[in-house]
C-alpha cells in the first residue's frame, strides 16, 4: 500500500471533537471527505496529519487554532441596522454576503428589533480541536 504524499487524493472519514470531548461533526454516516493533500480547502492540521499514513490507518490528532480555523478576529464582527435583512432570522443562522464579487459566509450572532450582529469568523475559529481520522482511500497524485 502506498504512503500518502503531498498531491495525492485522499478519502478520509473523520470525527471532530471540541476540547471538552463533545462531538462536533462526523463523516461516519455519509461518504468520506475527498481532497487533495496540500489543498487550501482543508485545514492545515489535517493536511499535515495524513502525510505518511496508509489506507486503513487511523489516528487521533490534536489541532491548534492556527492549524484549524484560525483565531477569532474582532474586525470580522459587525453590528449593522437590521433593515434589509430577512424578517425571520435566528442566532446561528448562516448567510452569504457578496463583498467585492466574492461570496463570504457570515453568521448571525445576535439581533434586536433594530440591529443585527454579523460574524465572518468561522464558528470554530479560536478553538483547539481533536480529530479522529481514518484514511479509507488513496489515489496517487503529482506528489509535488
Which CATH number does 9-70+124-139 carry?
A: 3.10.50.40
* Domain 9-70+124-139 identical in fold to domain 74-119: no
Output b/e per residue, 40-79; b: 16+ Cβ within 10 A: eebbebbbebbeebeeebeeebebebebbbbebeeeeeee
Supply 63's cell numbers: 489541532
The DSSP secondary-structure symbol of 7 reads T
Residue 127: phi, psi to the nearest 5? -95, 140
**Portion of the chain with pLDDT greater than 90, in percent:** 66
Q: Does position 144 have pLDDT exceeding 80, yes or no?
A: no
- Burial label for 131, CB within 10 Å (0-12, 13-18, 19+), is buried
The pLDDT of residue 83:
73
Is the pLDDT at 1 greater than 80? The verdict is no
Q: For 95-104, what is each residue's pLDDT tens digit? A: 888 878 888 8
Q: Where are the domains of the chain?
A: 9-70+124-139, 74-119
35 touches 12 (CB < 8 A): yes
Q: Tell me, which fold does domain 74-119 have in CATH?
A: Thrombin, subunit H (2.40.10)
Q: Flag whether pLDDT at 82 surpasses 80.
A: no
142, three cell numbers: 503529482
Q: How does pLDDT run across 10-63, given as a tens digit for each residue? A: 999 999 999 899 999 999 899 999 999 999 999 999 999 999 999 999 999 999
Residue 34's SS3 state is strand
Amino acid at each position: 500500500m502506498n504512503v500518502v504524499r503531498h498531491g495525492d487524493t485522499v478519502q478520509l472519514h473523520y470525527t471532530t471533537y471540541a476540547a471538552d470531548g463533545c462531538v462536533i461533526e462526523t463523516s461516519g454516516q455519509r461518504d468520506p471527505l475527498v481532497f487533495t493533500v496540500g489543498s487550501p480547502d482543508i485545514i492545515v492540521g489535517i493536511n499535515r496529519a495524513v502525510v505518511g499514513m496508509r489506507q486503513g490507518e487511523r489516528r487521533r490528532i490534536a489541532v491548534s487554532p492556527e492549524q484549524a480555523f484560525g483565531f477569532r478576529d474582532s474586525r470580522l464582527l459587525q453590528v449593522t441596522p437590521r433593515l434589509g435583512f430577512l424578517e425571520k432570522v435566528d442566532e446561528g443562522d448562516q448567510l452569504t454576503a457578496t463583498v467585492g464579487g466574492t461570496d463570504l459566509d457570515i453568521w448571525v450572532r445576535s439581533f434586536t428589533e433594530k440591529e443585527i450582529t454579523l460574524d465572518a469568523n468561522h464558528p470554530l475559529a479560536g478553538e483547539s480541536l481533536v480529530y479522529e481520522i481514518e484514511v479509507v482511500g488513496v489515489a496517487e497524485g503529482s506528489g509535488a
